[in-house]
Amino acid sequence: MEAIVLQILNGLDKGSAYALIALGLTLIFGTLGVVNFAHGALFMIGAFCAVTLSRILTLSHTIIDDTQKDFLGNPLKVEVPYVHDLFGQTTGDAIIDWAVPLSILFAMPIMILIGIVMERGLIRHFYNRPHADQILVTFGLAIVLQEIIKYYFGANPIPTPAPAAFKGSFDFGAMLGFEPNRIIYPYWRIIYFSFAALVVGGVFAFLQFTTFGMVVRAGMADRETVQLLGIDIDRRFTLMFGLAAAVAGLAGVMYTPINAPNYHMGMDFLVLSFVVVVVGGMGSLPGAVLAGFLLGILESFASMREVLNILPGINQIIIYLVAIVILLTRPRGLMGRKGVMED
C-alpha cells in the first residue's frame, strides 16, 4: 500500500514534466497545425535560463588570498561575487540561493521572445508544407540550438540546486497516518507538481475565460471562418506560440533542481513527449495533460522491484507498449479529434 501511494506520487511528479511539455506541443499543433520537434529544445533552453541567471548572479571578481594555495602551489585566487559587494554577504548569498525561483521572472520574457521569433522567422513559412518538412526543419533547429548551448556550457551536467529552504524531504506518510519514514517526498518535487498544476490550470483558464482565449479556440476549430469575421488570427496564433514556448521554458527552469541540466535533456524528453501527445490525441489539450500523468504513473509502477521480478525489462518499454495498445484500441488516442493528422 505504501509502495503504491509512493509510486502514484512519483508518477504525478514525472507526469507533470510530461504534461507541461505535451501541453505546449499540443498548443502549437492545435493552433498552428505544426509538428514542432524543437519543443524539447525550448524546454532545455528554459533550464539554461536558470543556469545563465545563476551565472549572472555569481559573476565575480578575483582577489588573491596569500594564505591559501591552489593546486599548482600558487596563491589561491578567490572569486567574490559582485552581489556580495552590492548587497553584503548575507543578502548576496540569499539572492544566489534563490536563483532558480528568480529565473522564472528571467525566463518568461526570454522564452516568449524566442517563441515569437521562432514562429515569425521560421515556422510561419511551414504552415502549408507537409508535416514531414515541419518535423525535419524543427529537428534541424533542435540540433542547432542544442549545439549552441553545448558550445557555451559544455556537455557535462551543471548542478543548479534549489534554495536551501526547499532542500530535504517531508514525511508524507506520517501525515496520512502511515508509519513514519516510509513515504517521504522531497519538497522541491511537491513544488514542481503544484507549479505544473498551476500552469496547466492557468492555460486552461486563459483559453476558457478570456476573450483572447475564446478567439483562439474558435480559430483552432475553424480558422477560416474566424478570419472571415475580420479577426487577425495569425497575430494571436503567434502569441500562442510564444505562450507555448514559455510553458516549455518554465517547465525547464523548475526542473533544474530535480536533475542537473545538460545540453541533451531536451532530446531525452522529446520522444517521450511526442508519445504522450499522440496517446492523448493530437490537438487535444486535456488529452495531453491526461496522457502525461497517466504515462508518468504507469512508468513509475513499472519500475517497482516487485513488478520487475515478474517481468524483467518492463520498465524499459512500458511507455511504448501502452502507446501501441492505446493507438490500436483507440484510433485517435485518448481524446483525439477526428480527422487530425490522418492524411
Partner 1 sequence: MLGLKKSDSRLLLLVAGITLLAPFILNPFPEGSELAQFNAGYPDLMQRFVIFGIFAIGFNILFGLTGYLSFGHAAFLGVGSYAAIWMMKLLTMNIIPAIILSVIVAGLFSLLVGWISLRRSGIYFSILTLAFAQMSYSLAYSVLTPITGGETGLQPKGSDPRILDAALVNGTTPKANLFGLQMGSSFDLTLGSWVFTFNTGFYIAAVIMLISFYLAIRIFRSPFGMMLRAVKSNQNRMNYTGLNSKPYTLAAFVISGMYAGLAGGLMVAMDTQAGPERMFWTASGEVVLMTILGGAGTLIGPVLGAGVIKYMENILSKINSDILHGWFAFLPDGLENLIVNVLYPFIGKGWHLTLGILFMLVVIYLPGGLVEGAQRINRLFKSKSQNDSKAKPEPAE
Partner 2 sequence: MSKSTFSRRGVLQTGAVAGAGLAVPTIFTASSAAAFTNEPTGGTVTLGFNVPQTGPYADEGADELRAYQLAVEHLNGGGDAGMMNTFSSKALKGNGILGKKIEFVTGDTQTKSDAARASARSMIEKDGAVMITGGSSSGVAVAVQALCQEAGVIFMAGLTHSNDTTGKDKKANGFRHFFNSYMSGAALAPILASNYGKDRKAYHLTADYNWGYTTEEAVRTSTEAMGWETVAAVKTPLTQTDFSSYIAPVLQSDADVLVLNHYGGNMVNSLTNAVQFGLRDKLVNNKNFEIVVPLYSRLMAKGAGANVKGIFGSTNWHWSLTDEGSKAFVKSFGTKYGFPPSQAAHTCYVQTLLYADAVERAGSFNPCAVAEALEGYSFDGLGNGPTLYRAEDHQCFKDVLVVKGKENPTSEFDLLEIVEVTPAAQVTYDASIFGGELGSCNSGA
Torsions phi, psi of 75, nearest 5? -60, 140
Q: Which partner in partner 2, partner 1, none is near 200 (CB below 5 to 8 A by kind)?
A: none
Could you give the CA distance from residue 213 to residue 30 in angstroms, rounded to a whole number? Answer: 13
Could you give the CA distance from residue 302 to residue 17 in angstroms, rounded to a whole number? Answer: 18
Strand, coil or helix: 62: strand
Distance of CA 240 to the CA centre of its chain: 16
Asked if 251 and 21 touch (Cβ cutoff 8 Å), the reply is yes
Q: In this structure, what C-alpha cell is assigned to residue 230?
A: 475580420
Q: How far is the CB of 176 from partner 2 (least distance, A)?
A: 14
Give me the 230-269 binding string for partner 2, x by CB under 8 A, dash otherwise: ---------------------------xxxx-x-xx--xx
Nearer to partner 1, 58 or 315 (CB): 315
**Residue from 186, 197, 213, 231 in contact with partner 2 (CB under 8 A):** 186
- State how beta strands 60-69 and 75-81 pair: antiparallel
Stretch that binds partner 2, among 42-50, 82-90, 150-158, 219-227 (CB under 8 A): 150-158
Long-range CB contacts for residues 60-67, cutoff 8 Å, separation at least 24: none
Q: Which partner in partner 1, partner 2, none is near 300 (CB below 5 to 8 A by kind)?
A: partner 2
Torsion, Cα of 266, 271, 275, 281 (10° steps): 60
- The site for partner 2, by CB under 8 A, has a size of 52
14 is a site residue for partner 2 (CB under 8 A): yes
Nearer to partner 2, 47 or 277 (CB): 47
Q: Which partner in partner 2, partner 1, none is near 188 (CB below 5 to 8 A by kind)?
A: partner 2
Distance of CA 235 to the CA centre of its chain: 25
70 is a site residue for partner 2 (CB under 8 A): yes
Torsion, Cα of 250, 255, 260, 264 (10° steps): -60
Q: Which partner in partner 2, partner 1, none is near 205 (CB below 5 to 8 A by kind)?
A: none
Could you give the CA distance from residue 64 to residue 18 in angstroms, rounded to a whole number? Answer: 47
Q: How far is the CB of 193 from partner 2 (least distance, A)?
A: 11
Q: Which partner in partner 1, partner 2, none is near 258 (CB below 5 to 8 A by kind)?
A: partner 2
Please give the single-letter amino acid code of residue 110: I
Kindly list the residues in this chain that would bind partner 2 in the complex (CB under 8 A).
Answer: 2-3, 6-7, 9-11, 13-14, 17, 68, 70-72, 76, 150, 154-159, 161, 167-169, 181-182, 184-186, 188-189, 257-260, 262, 264-265, 268-269, 299-300, 303-305, 308, 312-313, 315-316
